[in-house]
């Protein structure tokens, strides 16, 4: 019985000790939301300038430098396919052959017409020369000489017309051999041998894409464009200041080559409020394909930047504020501006702060302008939170409950 009473007294003493510790912790400042002490101890940092690299990302579409639709110039049946889909071709290489029989016949007819017209010119030339001699001897009148001259001129015009028809026939014959206008890769081929094609077909024979260099298109908001233009004076000057950009591919990997921002559209899309931009990338290995997608990554390096944690700021009416800590450890509610780019954890302060300033980095929601605090380091604040967390866990443990 005495043993039981002794154990009971010991248990009550332990319970009193736990309550005392809890009361002490609470009076010194239990925990607010986020684990911050409720006392006047707040984590404070002294700001320093540093170099900070951030990046912004934009969805992008990939296109070849040239995507050329291949269309026939003459009508006829495809008699031969010289390439297959995905083939690498060179400028001037034959892609399709359209049945040339009728066009070869047209060339032969045109050649015959030229021969006939040339013979007519030769005949009229002899006639005219004879008329000149007769006119010189006053055997024929001026009228007859002029008629002979006109007949010769007509024959020469007919010869010129026949030559033009021959040129056109030969050109049409050459069009039966459909060639690639540039280096590139052959796309889909919807027409096969035996298909009847013409210059008026809705779908091209194929598309040849020059993908030695790729154009990657993305959009920037009007606000970002205005900010960039004001900073550099105009869009052309801003283009020169852009650093090399990266391309993240659809599978999440980074493209090995860096690109350059080449153009900024002069028109803002009213539907989206954005402006189109183009980055150029080399594509020697032909890894990038027309119609692909990715993400443009634009790095931004700020020298002598004031970096502050986002936890140190509070928003009010679309403005950002921090609590500056004065020499007397009183806080001052101070408006600042920050850069648009951020990494999700920190801001680059543009105005309102300078190197050597002290700001509160945690628990700013419980502060008031003019409030006096006790500055501690972030490490000390983290240690206090950790200790309070452990004490809270110990109080709520099954063993402690059993002892109670």
Output the domain CATH number for residue 87: 2.40.50.100
Final residue before a domain boundary, out of 206, 232, 248 = 206
Please state the domain count of the chain: 3
- Whether residue 306 is contained in a domain is answered as no
| 325 strand-pairing partners | 331
Residues 280 and 387 placed together within one structural domain of the fold:
no
Same domain, 249 and 179: no
The verdict on residue 23 lying in a domain is no
- Co-location of 375 and 392 in the same domain: yes
The predicted structure's pLDDT at residue 136: 93
| CATH number of the domain that residue 237 is part of | 2.40.30.170
CB contact at 8 A, 64 and 209: yes
38 and 99 housed in the same domain:
no
Both 183 and 160 in one domain: the answer is yes
Alpha-carbon span 98 to 189, nearest angstrom: 15
Same domain, 86 and 201: yes
Sign of CA dihedral 256, 348, 358, 312: negative
The answer to whether residues 77 and 200 belong to one domain is: yes
Mark whether 355 and 398 lie in a shared domain. Answer: yes
* One domain, residues 155 and 227: no
Of the CA atoms within 13 Å of residue 372, those in its CB half-sphere come to: 2
Residue 10 lies in a domain: no
pLDDT in tens, the chain (404 residues): 333 433 443 344 443 333 333 333 333 443 444 444 456 889 999 999 887 777 788 999 999 888 899 999 999 999 999 999 989 999 999 999 999 999 999 999 999 999 999 999 999 999 999 999 999 999 999 999 999 999 999 999 999 999 999 999 999 999 999 999 988 899 999 999 999 999 999 999 999 988 889 999 999 888 877 777 776 667 677 777 788 999 999 999 999 999 999 988 878 888 888 889 999 999 988 899 888 999 999 887 777 888 899 999 999 888 999 999 999 999 999 999 988 777 778 888 889 999 999 999 988 988 999 999 999 888 888 888 788 787 776 666 554 444 44
Same domain, 283 and 376: no
* Among 176, 206, 236, residue at a domain's last position: 206
Residue 228 Cα distances to 89, 146, 225, 235, 266, angstroms? 42, 77, 5, 8, 14
In 3D, which of 297, 288, 267 has the Cα closest to residue 215?
A: 288
Alpha-carbon gap, residue 277 to 230, rounded angstroms: 18
In a domain, 26, yes or no: no
pLDDT for 206 equals 95
One domain, residues 166 and 78: yes
**Structure tokens that stand for 168 in this block:** 């056109």
User: If you count them, how many residues does the chain have?
Assistant: 404
Please indicate, yes or no, if residue 360 is contained in any of the structural domains.
Answer: yes
Enter the pTM of the model.
0.57
pLDDT at position 38: 52
For residue 126, give both structure tokens.
């002899």
Provide the CATH number for the domain around residue 330: 2.40.420.20
Residue 366's domain comprises 32-47+313-403
User: Which residue, 325, 347, 323, is CA-closest to 337?
Assistant: 347
Contacts 24+ apart (CB under 8 A), 254-260: 255/281, 255/287, 255/288, 255/294, 257/281, 257/282, 257/283, 259/216, 259/296
Tell whether 276 and 389 lie within a shared domain: no
In a domain, 80, yes or no: yes
Last residue of a domain, one of 144, 177, 206: 206
């Amino acid at each position: 019985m005495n043993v039981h009473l002794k154990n009971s007294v010991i248990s009550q003493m332990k319970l009193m000790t736990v309550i005392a510790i809890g009361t002490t912790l609470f009076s010194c400042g239990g925990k607010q939301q986020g684990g911050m002490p409720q006392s006047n101890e707040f984590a404070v940092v002294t700001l320093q300038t540093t170099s900070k690299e951030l990046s912004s990302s934009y969805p992008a579409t990939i296109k070849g430098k040239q995507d050329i639709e291949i269309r026939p110039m003459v009508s006829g049946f495809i008699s031969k396919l010289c390439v297959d889909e995905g083939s690498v071709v060179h400028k001037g290489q034959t892609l399709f052959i359209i049945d040339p029989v009728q066009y070869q016949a047209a060339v032969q007819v045109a050649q015959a017409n030229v021969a006939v017209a040339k013979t007519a010119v030769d005949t009229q030339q002899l006639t005219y020369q004879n008329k000149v001699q007769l006119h010189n001897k006053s055997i024929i009148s001026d009228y007859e000489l002029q008629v002979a001259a006109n007949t010769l001129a007509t024959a020469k015009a007919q010869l010129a017309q026949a030559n033009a028809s021959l040129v056109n026939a030969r050109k049409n014959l050459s069009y039966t051999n459909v060639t690639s206008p540039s280096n590139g890769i052959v796309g889909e081929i919807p027409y096969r041998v035996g298909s009847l094609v013409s210059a008026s077909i809705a779908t091209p024979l194929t598309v040849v894409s020059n993908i030695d260099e790729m154009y990657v298109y993305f959009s920037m908001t009007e606000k970002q464009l205005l900010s960039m233009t004001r900073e550099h004076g105009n869009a052309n000057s801003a283009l020169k200041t852009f650093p090399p950009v990266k391309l993240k591919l659809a599978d999440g990997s980074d493209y090995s080559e860096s690109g350059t921002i080449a153009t900024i559209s002069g028109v803002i899309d009213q539907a989206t409020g954005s402006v189109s931009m183009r980055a150029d990338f080399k594509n020697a290995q032909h890894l990038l394909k027309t119609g692909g997608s990715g993400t443009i990554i634009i790095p931004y390096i700020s020298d002598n930047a004031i970096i502050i944690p986002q936890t140190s700021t509070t928003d009010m009416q679309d403005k950002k504020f921090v609590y500056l800590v004065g020499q007397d450890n009183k806080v001052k509610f101070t408006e600042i501006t920050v850069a648009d780019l951020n990494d999700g954890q920190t801001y680059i302060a543009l105005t309102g702060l300078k190197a050597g300033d002290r700001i509160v980095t945690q628990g700013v929601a419980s502060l008031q302008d003019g409030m006096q605090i006790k500055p501690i380091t972030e490490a000390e604040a983290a240690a206090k939170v950790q200790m309070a967390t452990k004490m809270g866990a110990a109080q709520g443990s099954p063993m402690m409950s059993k002892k109670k």
